[in-house]
């Protein structure tokens, strides 16, 4: 087990030293995805604003939720990042097959490449979110710092999630369809634009048992309530710790085998 962890850490450490490589690759990916468009990556911002506007207008009453535009915009900010990490991770090694078979780069390089792509995209959604909060007269407070710490925690958890899902996707190709369906349902089962308001019943249970709920709350609630979400933060940190332990085991054990199943 120690050797497995040591091997995984060596791979991750080697990739971290190649930061110029995965940052450049991630930036190139974003540029290529918007090549020959008039607005370029600004479409990422427009997409986020369109989603937020649609949810706010359709669910404008917000079930009595105070500051509903801020509630939705912050929820979507976290959800976009979470959804992208999970949805793209499961097909990561299939997309990087050429690099995996043709280079000697550490596997973690591709993990960090995807992470960097998601962070760049999140940068555009943050701009849109701050604009909505400003237009909605959401006051600056210590809660904004708490919210940033929540985002930082999600970013720290993300590489572990990417590693685990990438290996699952490589060894079990059908998993990409399973994950895709889970995330479609998850968008509506996660309180992005709704809140149970202590209504009880199944709706309350979905709210309480859904781990995505707490990942949204560590980003959203500090700004809305100006309070640090201790329970949600510790729960997310615990989930992250478990994911990292599994990720190191998987990475250390299977990194040399993945190319044979692609």
Q: How confident is the model at residue 60 (pLDDT cuts 50, 70, 90)?
A: low
pLDDT tier, 125 (very low <50, low <70, confident <90, very high otherwise): very high
Q: What is the pLDDT of residues 83-123, one digit of tens each?
A: 999 999 999 999 888 888 888 889 999 999 999 999 999 99
- Split into its structural domains, the chain has a count of 1
Beta carbons within 8 Å of 237's beta carbon, 6+ residues apart = 153
Domain that holds residue 162: 2-260
Q: Distance (Å, rounded) from C-alpha 194 to C-alpha 186?
A: 13
How many Å apart are CA 167 and CA 255, to the nearest integer? 9
pTM of the predicted model as reported, rounded to 2 decimal places: 0.92
């Amino acid at each position: 087990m120690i050797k497995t962890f040591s091997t995984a850490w060596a791979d991750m450490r080697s990739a971290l030293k190649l930061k110029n490589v995965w940052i450049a690759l991630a930036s190139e990916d974003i540029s290529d995805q918007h090549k020959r468009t008039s607005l370029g990556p600004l479409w990422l911002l427009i997409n986020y604003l369109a989603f937020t506007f649609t949810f706010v207008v359709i669910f404008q009453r917000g079930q009595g939720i105070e500051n509903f535009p801020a509630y939705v915009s912050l929820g979507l900010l976290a959800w976009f990042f979470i959804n992208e990490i999970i949805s793209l991770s499961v097909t990561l090694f299939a997309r990087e097959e050429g690099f995996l078979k043709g280079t000697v780069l550490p596997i973690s390089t591709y993990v960090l490449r995807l992470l960097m792509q998601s962070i760049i995209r999140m940068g555009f959604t943050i701009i849109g979110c701050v604009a909505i909060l400003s237009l909605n007269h959401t006051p600056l407070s210590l809660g904004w710092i708490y919210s940033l710490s929540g985002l930082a925690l999600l970013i720290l958890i993300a590489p572990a999630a990417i590693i685990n899902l990438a290996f699952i996707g490589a060894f079990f190709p059908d998993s990409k369809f399973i994950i895709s369906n889970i995330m479609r349902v998850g968008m509506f089962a996660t309180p992005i634009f709704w809140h149970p308001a202590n209504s009880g019943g199944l709706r309350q249970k979905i709210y309480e048992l859904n781990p995505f709920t707490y990942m949204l709350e560590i980003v959203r609630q500090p700004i809305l309530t100006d309070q640090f979400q201790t329970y949600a933060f510790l729960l997310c940190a615990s989930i992250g710790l478990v994911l990292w332990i599994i990720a190191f085991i998987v990475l250390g054990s299977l990194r040399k085998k993945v190319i044979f199943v692609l």
